[in-house]
Amino acid sequence: MRVLVVEDDEGIAAGLEVHLRQLGWAVDVMPSVAEAWLALCAEPFDVVLLDLGLRDGDGAEVLQRLRQAPAGRLPDSATPVLIMTARDQVSSRIQTLDLGADDYVTKPFDPDELAARMRALRRRSVGRAQALLVCGPIQIDPATRSVLLHGRPVNLSSREFGILLALVEVRPRVLSRAQIETRLYNWDNVLDSNAVEVHVHHLRKKLGEGAIRTLRGVGYFVAEDAA
């Protein structure tokens, strides 16, 4: 999952970054309205965590610009937004929910609850109600980041898990290598040009050669049955 954290409090931002990266998510942090907007113009994020009181203005402005962007102007103007507010900001919460925010937490919040809410937002944004993903003999639990093949646990690295989840979530759509990289790596990561190929190779070794298919010249996909 690719996450944008918009937060100007360095302590909160750093804590979130560490916690969310431990979950295997790619996290970028932006401290201002201006920088958050640049990030949203550049990349499709899966979830945005948005603080309201930012250095150069109100986080609600980011939300408003995101939701009101003309079709095609941004990589993803429908990306789920979770607002992080102080306890006394009831009117701000109402206002931002009505502006198109999807959920909110009040500070101080429990990071595990936040992560669970983010998984729920992601499920809804890909049109899925079930927490577990079942694809032929493969069962994926995004909450515990565990994978079963024919009921037996399979040990995947964090990147391998991320690629598998990304492909299964949108199956049978094809994701290009660039789209997969965008989902898995934040801007600070240095990328080997063949990193995705290597991870897919390992996934096939662990899950079966047919688990991930290649559409030559386009990208990778998982068939409905993953057989």
- Contact residues toward Ca ion (CB under 5 A) are 8, 51, 53
Per the structure block, which two tokens stand in for 214? 């290649």
Q: For Ca ion, give the closer residue by CB, 8 or 46.
A: 8
| Pairing verdict, β 133-135 and 53-54 | unpaired
CB of 87 to Ca ion, least distance (A): 14
Of 8 and 169, the one with the shorter C-beta distance to Ca ion is 8
Exposed / middle / buried, residue 71 (Cβ in 10 Å: 0-12, 13-18, 19+): exposed
Nearer to Ca ion, 108 or 210 (CB): 108
Residue at shortest CB range from Ca ion: 53
Q: Which of 56, 141 has the CB closer to Ca ion? A: 56
For the CB of residue 49, give the shortest distance to Ca ion in the complex, in Å.
12
Q: Which is nearer to Ca ion, 8 or 160 (CB)?
A: 8
From start to end of the chain, where are the E strands?
A: 2-6, 26-30, 47-51, 53-54, 57-58, 81-85, 103-106, 133-135, 138-141, 146-149, 152-154, 213-215, 219-221
As measured in angstroms, the least distance from the Cβ of 28 to Ca ion is 17
Task: Give, in degrees to the nearest 5, the angle at Cα 162 between 65 and 140.
Answer: 110
- CB 104 → Ca ion: shortest distance, Å? 14
User: Minimum distance between the CB of residue 7 and Ca ion, rounded to whole angstroms?
Assistant: 6
* Cα–Cα distances in angstroms (integers) from residue 47 to residues 120, 123, 166, in the given order: 10, 11, 14
